């Protein structure tokens, strides 16, 4: 136990506690309470308390929706990591006066409405869209390819929108990498691959985890990208919860789904941290 006998600690802790209690814990408690409530035609939430909403969840359709959402988010995270890691690494290790500018240039496209960017992707992927016209003109294909309303188009859209959330945490983490450790490894005869596996990868693990969390979690609940680019032909967790709250007017069931989803992911993450045994990453979140 370290002792910091001055106001800064108390100041920061009280701000954080106040904020998170009021705007994170309290709403979550409200949602949890709502998940045990009933509803009728006139009231969105009412007594008596019941477990029926949780019993409803034991339903093969919901299990399917959960699985599919996990699957899509997992693939998306993996692609973002594979694309984003080398990208972040190259930029972070760059010795250029344009480095700051390059970092800014990563984020600027994302200040344009994601909805409009998604429509712009539709423009490109349409049967008569930019990509097909160009390929036809070049004579690469003789018939328009079906690009839109496929699983591929959904994945392109997701990766496009979430890639910066992988790149930025990685970038700030890799920048801190100590060159001397890499040099030392090379001096001791390690080849590139070994250096990467034994030195660089473990040291950048916190960045990888942060990035993966920031990509994986939103990917599970984002729904307008699968809706627009995939033709809305399946339901993901985001749609499921949204529909229960808005269309079916069943707030208790929507809350129950949300609570179960949160707990499930919490358990998964705890298991992962326990098994990975990486102290730093265990502490993350």
Partner 1 sequence: MRQFLKSVITLASIFLASISFADDKIVNVYTWSGVIPDSAIRQFEKETGIKVNFSTYDSNEVMYAKLKADKNVEYDVVEPSSYYIDRMRRQGMLQKLDKAKVPYFVNLNPDFLNKSYDPDSSYSIPFIWGITGIFVNNKSHVPASITTWSDVWNKQYANQLLMLDDSREVFSMALRSLGYSANDQNPEHIKQAYLKIKTLLPNIKMFNSSPISLLIDEDATVGMSWNGDFFKAKKENTHLDFIFPKDGFVIWVDNFAIPKGAPHLDNAYKFLNFMLRADVAKAVVLDNAYPTTNLAAQKLLPAEVRNDPIEYPSREIMSHGEFQTDISDDALALYEKYWEKLKMGG
Partner 2 sequence: MRNLPYTSYLTAIYLFFYIPIIVLIVYSFNNAQYSLLWHGFSLRWYHELFADSDLWLAVLHSVILGVTAATVATCVGGLTAISLYRYDFFGRQLLYGSIFILILSPDIVMGISLLILFSMIGITLGFWSLLLAHITFCIPFVVVTVYSRIVSFDQYIFEAAKDLGAKDSVILTRIILPLLWPALLAGWLLSFTLSIDDVIISYFVAGPDFEILPLKIYSMVRLGVKPEINALCTVTFGLTLLLIVISQLSLRKKP
**Ranges within 189-208 binding partner 2 (CB under 8 A):** 203, 206-207
Q: Are 65 and 261 in contact (CB under 8 A)?
A: no
Does position 59 interact with partner 2 (CB under 8 A)? The reply is no
Does position 107 interact with partner 1 (CB under 8 A)? The reply is no
**Which range of residues in 59-67, 125-133, 180-188, 191-199 is near partner 2 by CB under 8 A?**
125-133
Does position 13 interact with partner 2 (CB under 8 A)? The reply is yes
Which residue, 165, 187, 184, 183, is CA-closest to 79? 165
Does position 90 interact with partner 2 (CB under 8 A)? The reply is yes
Cis, peptide link before residue 48, omega less than 30° from 0: yes
Q: Which is nearer to partner 1, 92 or 154 (CB)?
A: 154
**Which range of residues in 56-64, 71-79, 110-118, 190-198 is near partner 2 by CB under 8 A?**
110-118
**How many helices (DSSP H) and strands (DSSP E) are in the chain?**
15, 0
Does position 116 interact with partner 1 (CB under 8 A)? The reply is no
Does position 52 interact with partner 1 (CB under 8 A)? The reply is no
Q: Are 54 and 260 in contact (CB under 8 A)?
A: yes
Does position 202 interact with partner 1 (CB under 8 A)? The reply is no
Binding mask 205-244 for partner 2 (x = CB under 8 A): -xx-xxx-xx--x---x---------------xx--xx--
Q: Are 262 and 187 in contact (CB under 8 A)?
A: no
In angstroms, give the least distance from the CB of 249 to partner 2. Answer: 12
In the block, residue with structure tokens 């079906």: 146
Residue among 42, 47, 116, 140 that touches partner 2 (CB under 8 A): 116
Which residue, 96, 115, 133, is CA-closest to 229? 115
CA pair distance 78, 235, nearest whole angstrom: 22
Number of residues this chain uses to bind partner 2 (CB under 8 A): 97
Residue among 15, 29, 44, 184 that touches partner 1 (CB under 8 A): 44
Cis, peptide link before residue 155, omega less than 30° from 0: no
Contacted by 4, from partner 1, partner 2, none: CB < 5 to 8 Å by type:
partner 2
Token digits of residue 25:
């814990």
Residue 46 bridge partners (DSSP):
38
In angstroms, give the least distance from the CB of 259 to partner 2. Answer: 9
Cα angle: 265, vertex 266, 270; to 5 degrees? 115
Residue 277 bridge partners (DSSP):
none
Backbone angles phi, psi at 56, to 5 degrees: -60, -25
CA pair distance 158, 78, nearest whole angstrom: 12
In angstroms, give the least distance from the CB of 32 to partner 2. Answer: 10
Residue among 58, 96, 128, 142 that touches partner 2 (CB under 8 A): 128
Residue 38 bridge partners (DSSP):
46
Q: Which is nearer to partner 1, 128 or 275 (CB)?
A: 128
Binding positions for partner 1, rule: CB under 8 A: 39-42, 44, 61-62, 64-65, 68, 126-128, 148-149, 227-228, 231-235, 240, 243-250
């Amino acid at each position: 136990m370290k002792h910091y006998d001055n106001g800064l600690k108390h100041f920061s802790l009280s701000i954080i506690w106040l904020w998170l209690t009021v705007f994170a814990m309290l709403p979550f408690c409200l949602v949890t309470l709502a998940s045990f409530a009933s509803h009728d035609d006139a009231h969105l939430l009412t007594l008596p308390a019941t477990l029926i909403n949780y019993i409803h969840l034991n339903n093969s359709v919901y299990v399917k929706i959960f699985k599919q959402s996990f699957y899509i988010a997992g693939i998306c995270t993996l692609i973002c990591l594979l694309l984003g890691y080398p990208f972040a690494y190259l930029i972070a290790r760059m010795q250029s006066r344009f480095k700051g500018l390059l970092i800014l240039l990563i984020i600027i496209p994302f200040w344009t409405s994601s909805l409009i960017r998604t429509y712009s992707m539709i423009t490109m992927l349409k049967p008569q869209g930019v990509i097909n016209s160009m390929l036809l003109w070049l004579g690469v294909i003789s018939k328009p390819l079906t690009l839109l309303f496929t699983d591929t188009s959904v994945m392109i859209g997701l990766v496009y929108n979430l890639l910066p959330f992988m790149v930025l945490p990685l970038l700030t983490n890799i920048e801190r990498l100590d060159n001397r450790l890499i040099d030392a490894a090379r001096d001791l005869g390690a080849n590139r691959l070994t250096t990467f596996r034994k030195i660089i990868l473990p040291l950048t693990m916190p960045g990888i985890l942060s990035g993966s969390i920031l990509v994986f979690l939103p990917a599970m609940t984002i729904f307008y990208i699968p809706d627009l680019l995939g033709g809305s032909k399946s339901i993901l967790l985001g749609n499921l919860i949204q529909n229960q709250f808005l269309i079916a007017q069943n707030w208790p069931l929507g809350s129950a789904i949300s609570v179960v989803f949160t707990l499930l992911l919490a358990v998964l993450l705890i298991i992962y941290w326990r098994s990975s045994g990486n102290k730093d990453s265990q502490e993350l979140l």
